[in-house]
């Protein structure tokens, strides 16, 4: 009697089903990286998810097979501290080749299209980060003044943003590389601010409009649309508002009192420090120039803190969690204004740019507005010899 194994057809069917599952392949080579581990990550809306890894052979060859997503998605190759970002739409194979020592400066990727443009802006981003890192080292080594560092970084960022806005985002808001450009970071800060900058929000709005038309059901589209609407609400929040100072905020001194929460959730009032010399600082921690600004404040604190100076720093960040992390090790008073850059304090204290600082003398009198920490240092030397 002939026996039939009923499991063989079932196994074959399962194998065929697995092979027919939509997928794409990422392959190529990264030379001068033999023995190193190469990772492939899914760059999600809120987090990066490691998908697979491999140890490179002497020739640096690799190949990953990844299940296809319903909509276009972004991925990155990660090796050491270097990354190659790319997007996968309808293609079946992405091929990437590069040399590890120069991977952050050049590589090849096929097919091109959006990925060529992602490469362009990513390499410009890498070059900008390297330039800022170089200036930061000079500042830390006291070979560059903090003021010069801040001015230089601000100028470089402005040029970079203008380039990306004109030549990428507004030129082709319907292309996936424009979405990628919106979320580039320098020093872990978003280059384009979706919460606090009216001009930047126009970039988000342009891309969101195109994404809604092309990918209406994508999670990225929903996230981008919500982000844009929130930013637009924020920027309109102050239109037509009348700012007033509540009577309980008025002290018998020459400034308007401020009471905000610190990182522990305790209410801390500026007025608590009357009798001491106070440096009132308005800043945004989630700004590429905040590192240099806090370095300058640290120098001021180290010089004048022992003489009784109090620094009361008001952070106008949209992201409370980020503010907590950024200020965790700062030795002065750090409070957070949940209204962000649309706080009534902006109007009350006539803040035109960030960072801005006031000195309050020991009598409680508000001195002039400063935007330069060098000028603050000179003024404090006169007040606290």
pLDDT score at 166: 96
| Parts of the chain belonging to CATH 3.40.30.10 | 250-383
Per-residue pLDDT of 118-170, as tens digits, reads 999 999 999 999 999 999 899 888 898 888 888 898 899 999 999 999 999 99
Nearest to 281, CA basis, from 336, 347, 338: 336
Tokens of 14: 């399962």
Lowest mean pLDDT among 37-41, 156-160, 261-265, 318-322: 318-322
pLDDT score at 197: 82
CATH 3.40.50.12170 assigned to 20-111: no
Calculate the average pLDDT of the chain.
88
Per-residue pLDDT of 43-60, as tens digits, reads 999 889 999 999 999 999
pLDDT band at 236 (very low <50, low <70, confident <90, very high): low
Stated pTM of the model: 0.71
Residue 240 confidence (pLDDT) above 50: no
pLDDT band at 346 (very low <50, low <70, confident <90, very high): confident
Q: Return the bridge partners of 357, or none.
A: 281, 370
CATH class of 250-383: alpha beta
Which of the two residues, 234 and 108, has the higher pLDDT score?
A: 108
pLDDT band at 8 (very low <50, low <70, confident <90, very high): low
Question: Rounded distance, CA 311 to CA 301, Å?
Answer: 8
- What contacts 281, CB < 8 A, 6 or more positions away? 297, 311, 312, 313, 314, 355, 356, 357
Residue 241 confidence (pLDDT) above 80: no
Average pLDDT over every residue of 269-273: 94
Average pLDDT over every residue of 112-117: 93
pLDDT score at 352: 80
Residue 247 confidence (pLDDT) above 60: no
pLDDT score at 194: 86
Average pLDDT over every residue of 167-182: 97
pLDDT band at 6 (very low <50, low <70, confident <90, very high): low
- What is the per-residue DSSP string for 83-135? EEEEEESS-SEEEEEEEGGGTTT--EEES-THHHHHHHHHHHHHHHHHHHHHH
Question: Rounded distance, CA 244 to CA 377, Å?
Answer: 32
| Parts of the chain belonging to CATH 2.60.40.1110 | 20-111
Q: Is the bond preceding 111 in cis, omega lying within 30 degrees of 0?
A: yes
Q: What percent of the chain has pLDDT over 90?
A: 64
Average pLDDT over every residue of 179-193: 89
Residue pointed to by tokens 């280059």: 191
- What is the per-residue DSSP string for 145-210? -HHHHHHHHHHHHHHHHHHHIIIIITT-TTSHHHHHHHT-EETTEESS-TTT-HHHHHHHHHHHHH
């Amino acid at each position: 009697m002939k026996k039939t194994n009923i499991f063989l057809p079932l196994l074959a069917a399962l194998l065929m089903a697995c092979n027919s599952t939509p997928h794409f392949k990422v392959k190529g080579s990264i030379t001068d990286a033999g023995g190193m581990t190469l990772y492939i990550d899914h760059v999600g809306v809120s987090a990066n998810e490691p998908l697979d890894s491999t140890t490179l052979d002497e020739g640096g060859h690799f190949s990953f097979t990844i299940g296809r997503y319903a909509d276009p998605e972004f991925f990155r190759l990660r090796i050491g501290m270097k990354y190659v970002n790319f997007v996968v739409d309808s293609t079946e194979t992405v091929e990437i080749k590069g040399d590890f020592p120069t991977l952050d400066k050049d590589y090849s990727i096929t097919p091109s299209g959006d990925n060529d443009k992602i490469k362009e802006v990513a390499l410009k981003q890498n070059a900008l980060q390297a330039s800022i890192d170089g200036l930061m080292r000079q500042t830390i080594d006291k070979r560059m003044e903090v003021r010069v560092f801040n001015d230089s970084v601000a100028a470089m960022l402005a040029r970079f943003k203008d380039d990306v806005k004109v030549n990428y985002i507004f030129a082709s808001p319907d292309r996936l590389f424009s979405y990628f450009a919106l979320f580039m970071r320098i020093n872990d800060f978003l280059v384009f601010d979706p919460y606090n900058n009216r001009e930047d929000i126009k970039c988000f709005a342009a891309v969101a409009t195109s994404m809604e038309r092309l990918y209406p059901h994508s999670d990225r589209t929903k996230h981008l649309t919500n982000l844009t609407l929130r930013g637009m609400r924020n920027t309109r929040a102050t239109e037509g508002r009348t700012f007033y100072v509540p009577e309980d905020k008025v002290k018998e001194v020459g400034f308007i009192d401020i009471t905000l929460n610190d990182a522990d959730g305790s209410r801390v009032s500026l007025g608590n420090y009357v009798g001491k010399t106070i440096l009132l600082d308005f800043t945004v921690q989630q700004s590429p120039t905040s590192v240099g600004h806090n370095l300058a404040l640290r120098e001021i604190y180290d010089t004048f803190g022992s003489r009784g100076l109090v620094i009361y720093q008001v952070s106008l960040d949209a992201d409370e969690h980020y503010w907590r992390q950024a200020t965790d090790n700062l030795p002065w008073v750090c409070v957070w204004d949940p209204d962000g850059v649309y706080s009534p304090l902006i109007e009350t204290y006539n803040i035109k740019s960030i960072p801005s600082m006031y000195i309050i003398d020991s009598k409680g009198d508000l001195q002039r507005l400063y935007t330069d920490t060098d000028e603050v240092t000179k003024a404090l030397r006169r007040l606290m010899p």
